[in-house]
Amino acid sequence: MESTNTTSTWAALPNHVLLPLLAHHCLSPDDPSPQVQAAAACLAHSDTAVKNLAMLILERCGVAGATHVAHLLAPDRPVSERAAAAASLGRMGIAAAPAAPALGRCLEAPDDTLRANAAFALGRLGPDAVPILQSLLGSSDGKAKSAALEALGRIGPSAVLAADDIRGLLPQEDLLLQLAAAGCLAQINAADPDGLPRLAAALARSEAWVRAEAVKRLGELAAKAVQAAPDLVRCLGDEAPTVRAAAALALVRVKPDAVEAVAPLSGLLGDTDPEVAINAAVALGTIGPPAGAAMGPLKTLQSHPDLRVVQMAGAALARITPKSG
């Protein structure tokens, strides 16, 4: 393997030699930094597998590796390549700081996957990404604003300097953007009066999609939204299946030991919408042994016509059944 380990020759090697060589360096516990230039040269290779393995090596090379991967974010590169590079930078965390400006520009791209991957990467950069994300809150592109809010929410309390700019989005007519802004404010400061209270108030809206989105945002807050657990329990009885399904998952994200929800969740196992039944089973499995009262209804689902329901019910039973010994 090492006989081919000359940085100037990697990209010129035939694939049957190059791919195993790259895989070796991906898996090796040795510091890959000496191979930065060789791996970087492979980013121009025509084979996607070669480029992906090269990115995996560069992910372990810190700032130097991130600088090379960032070149793949250029607007003239294929969108699939840009999305893969953004995902790679996201895995690097703070080492991807040199790519922050390019990642910020990706939030205004039309491709959903690229935007999502770039937002995740920026969110992992922490406070250094806040100025770039703040500037995007003034974009005319609503999707770019939403992606920036997702990243700022991931940064959390360290994004407090952006709070006023985020608050400025609340009066907008776009309800999705309003909810995203409220969720972001709650991620930054759980006590923000424009955060959790706004999301909880949205649960009373007449539009089912708004209620479902508010439930989802509450779930993303996890323990920060524990005071909204009773509201989420009530949402288990919502007339809209999308809301019931979302509430089942959100509830156990907010309060994983929500034993008070075992009865209503058990009732949802017989829901006519399979997505509701699936999410109820997942929620009961998350609660674990304290949800023992749901074992009977879960067992009845073993003959359900939807295989997904059967599988989730079986997984829930396995988690609820007390371990012997």
Per-residue pLDDT of the chain (325 residues; tens, 9 = 90+): 444 445 557 988 999 999 999 999 999 999 999 999 999 999 999 999 999 999 999 999 999 999 999 999 999 999 999 999 999 999 999 999 999 999 999 999 999 999 999 999 999 999 999 999 999 999 999 999 999 999 999 999 999 999 999 999 999 889 999 999 999 999 999 999 999 999 999 999 999 999 999 999 999 999 999 999 999 999 999 999 999 999 999 999 999 999 999 999 999 999 999 999 999 999 999 999 999 999 999 999 999 999 999 999 999 999 999 876 5
Range of the domain at 269: 202-325
State how far the Cα of 133 lies from the Cα of 138, in Å rounded to an integer: 9
Instruction: Tell me whether residue 193 is in a domain.
Output: no
Structure tokens at 248: 């089942």
The conformation of residue 9, written as its DSSP 8-state character, comes to T
Length of the chain: 325
Place of tokens 């205004």: 108
State the CATH number of the domain containing residue 259.
Answer: 1.25.10.10
The candidate with the shortest Cα–Cα distance to 277, out of 251, 257, 248, 256, is 248
Write down the pLDDT at residue 1.
Answer: 46
- 154 domain-assigned: no
Residue pair 277/241 in contact (Cβ under 8 Å)? The answer is no
CB 262 within 8 Å of CB 281? no
Number of structural domains in the chain = 2
- Among residues 32, 60, 93, which one ends one of the domains? 93
Question: Which two tokens mark 102?
Answer: 């390019």
**Per-residue confidence (pLDDT) for residue 323, from 0 to 100:** 77
Q: What is the pLDDT of residue 11?
A: 87
Q: Locate tokens 């294929």: which residue?
A: 78
Furthest-apart CA pair in the chain: how many Å? Answer: 69
- Distance CA(33)–CA(190), nearest Å, equals 41
Picking from 93, 125, 152, the residue at the C-terminal end of a domain is: 93
For residue 16, give every residue at least 6 positions away whose Cβ sits within 8 Å of its Cβ, in sequence order, or none. Answer: none
Query: Does any domain span residue 111?
Result: no
* Residue 177 domain-assigned (yes or no): no
The whole-number pLDDT of residue 141 equals 94
Token pair 């949402």 in the structure block, residue:
235
Domain edge (last residue) among 93, 127, 151 = 93
Within a domain: residue 314? yes
Q: Does residue 161 lie in a domain region?
A: no
**143 lies in some domain:** no
DSSP 323: P
The answer to whether residue 247 is domain-embedded is yes
CA distance 139 to 78: 24
Helices (H), the chain: 15-27, 36-41, 48-59, 62-70, 79-92, 100-106, 112-125, 130-136, 142-155, 163-167, 175-188, 196-202, 208-220, 229-235, 241-254, 262-268, 274-287, 295-300, 307-320
Secondary structure, 3-state, 185-200: HHHHCCCCCCCHHHHH
